Homo-oligomer: A and B are copies of this chain.
């Protein structure tokens, strides 16, 4: 929307500028001015339509939440409103006439033009007897910029009705959503299931992509009227294989489903977005470089694409992490947190610069921004002032919510207003079949393989749920919307829109029912999760059985939990453990005010260096923020880490039992005597998990303080 509108705004306004004041001869000017104003008005109305739609959606979401209506989810709601308004705009609105002139070139400049030029320069000529006002336009040269191909040459009409440039999705709408996903990630559960998540996201998405491509290609042979090359099929597979974090997050987080299931579904969907973007980019560039009309496939080129894929992913990851760490360093070594506004601005700007740097370097901005978000949450967040913590979380939550709602509204509207839809019922049916097969081939075998190495098995019911939660949404739509010039791509867009709408409605509506059928506990409160921490083994034993959620009273929780040494490990991720050790020993002391400091963890020879990197605050604070307080640590890992740590003969008194010291000052959040304090903490904690803040306020262990939940 925005770009088309901005473009028209630019157009209208430049026209206005060009003409209002330079020329003062009444008739032409007034006509022009009127026209420019009319276009400006239409632009504003265009945006207004979406803003009003969003207002309507917000109000209805509230009604639904209040009535606890589960049959239709808010994302579905946004789509419905979008569809209705799209239909009204399509069939109700009048066409605005666009003045155009067909032109031919006078002369080329030096370079031979074998592609459509960026600019046309047009010198006004007035036919017949020029009236006085017209003279001003003579011998003036105007610049015109490339807009796109005119497909409908007869009507010579450009599609400008409530559609907007797909790049806006990637450059303005998606970054805050993805950043917020990274920033509000429940990292403890994420890292605990990292192996499984990465397997699903990387290997699973690739499998799904190829399976979908092959299934589609097989069926395409039966539909000779469709001109689909094999790379087209693969491209469709890449686009459609990304499950949508937005929808999944909204659905499962509202239901308070089992945290591990949530982590698996959400983690996969967030990472496979990045995978899908890079994958589709690779297929595109493969097609460009080696593709032939016959759709052949060369092994060497394929390997090159894989290499390209890995290169882009790793570099983007590095850029994101490095920018995150730079922000952490900046906030650690300047006392910027005396000025929360400056601090928040810096945070915002640094995060957005990640995206820009990586796009400017031809890498994936989305991947970079995701990992930047994770880094910011893991390191920078600890250095921020209380006000900035609240502010940044609330800011990104808000931006992300509005952006999400906008995307779903837009999916609805564009079903009608976008004129290049190409309908083929056969293809859509085949596509549904293909994604089901692709999802099944990806979930079940991978889960089987994963279960071979996992202590806490992924139960069959969880696998069914994983299969089922493969909703397609905003990301698939955005990718499909990116390119709609050829017929196959138009068909892909239509199919993707349909799949997004159907999965959101169908899967969204049936999720609650399905969770009951599969016996997966819903309404699992954060307290329950807290209990798991102290008695992890017990809870994980019951995970496969159909246990009802054990919602405990706050008093129960206040009882001193058992010492962690008694627990048995539930997962041994070697890489994760190694990373965690490195993180606690070097990264955290370097990037945050946490203890132990670098002076303790680095070898003696580095002392001058490490002294330089240790702040006074870090030295002076005792027990304010120990590494082990950080709740994204795995308890098992903490244990092993501090065993190592003790082995080096360094002071770590009080550190192991610390995370369980619930009677800490910070833990008395729900103290009825301080309602205001309670509120402020509510604002502090409940952000990451959607809209329902209620469930997080009952108890707070110290570890929670160090991260945005």
Contacts and interface: CB of A to CB of B under 8 A. Distances in A.
Given A44-B356, A119-B98, A122-B103, A394 B395 contact: yes
A398 B117 CA distance: 41
14 contacts: A10-B147, A15-B116, A18-B116, A22-B485, A59-B334, A65-B342, A101-B106, A105-B125, A141-B153, A143-B147, A143-B149, A341-B691, A386-B683, A391-B398
Contacts of A352: 51
Nearest to A232: B21
Given A51-B353, A144-B144, A103 B100 contact: no
A106 B104 CA distance: 6
Given A29-B288, A346-B59, A390-B394, A100 B106 contact: no
A14 interface: yes
Nearest to A397: B341
B119 A691 contact: no
Interface string A588-607: 00000000000000000000
A352 B103 CA distance: 40
Nearest to A139: B153
A401 interface: yes
A284 B18 CA distance: 13
Given A21-B287, A108-B101, A142 B137 contact: no
Interface in A100-141: 100-109, 111-127, 131, 133-134, 137, 140-141
Contact of A482 (B17, B126, B127): B17
A534 interface: no
Contacts of A677: 674, 676-677, 680
A367 to B, nearest CB: 15
Contacts of A167: 9-10, 13
A19 interface: yes
A143 B357 CA distance: 31
A350 interface: yes
A147 B12 CA distance: 9
B101 A334 contact: no
A489 B18 CA distance: 11
A10 B58 CA distance: 30
A51 B165 CA distance: 23
A48 B319 CA distance: 14
A387 interface: yes
A682 B387 contact: yes
A52 interface: yes
A346 B55 contact: yes
A439 to B, nearest CB: 25
A189 interface: no
Contact of A10 (B7, B150, B483, B693): B7
Contacts of A255: none
Nearest to A41: B360
A292 B24 CA distance: 6
Interface stretch (A32-40, A257-265, A510-518): A32-40
Contacts of A398: 341, 344-345, 348, 391, 395
Q: Count this chain's copies in the assembly.
A: 2
A617 to B, nearest CB: 15
Given A55-B349, A61-B339, A99-B113, 16 more contacts: A7-B7, A33-B288, A100-B118, A101-B117, A103-B104, A109-B156, A116-B124, A116-B140, A116-B142, A120-B122, A344-B398, A387-B682, A387-B693, A390-B394, A394-B395, A676-B681
Nearest to A336: B62
A17 B483 contact: yes
Nearest to A229: B24
A401 B341 contact: yes
Contacts of A116: 15, 18, 122, 124, 137, 140, 142
Contacts of A40: 359
Contacts of A387: 394, 679, 682-683, 693
Contacts of A682: 387
Contacts of A340: 683, 693
Contacts of A91: none
Contacts of A105: 101-103, 122, 125
A332 to B, nearest CB: 13
A143 B137 contact: no
A554 to B, nearest CB: 19
A575 interface: no
A36 to B, nearest CB: 10
Contacts of A106: 101-104
Contact of A104 (B125, B133, B483, B484): B125
A80 to B, nearest CB: 18
Interface string A146-167: 1111100100101000000111
Given A143-B147, A390-B394, A677-B674, A120 B120 contact: yes
A100 B117 contact: yes
A147 B35 CA distance: 16
A340 to B, nearest CB: 7
A158 B7 CA distance: 16
A150 B121 contact: yes
Interface in A378-396: 386-387, 390-391, 394-395
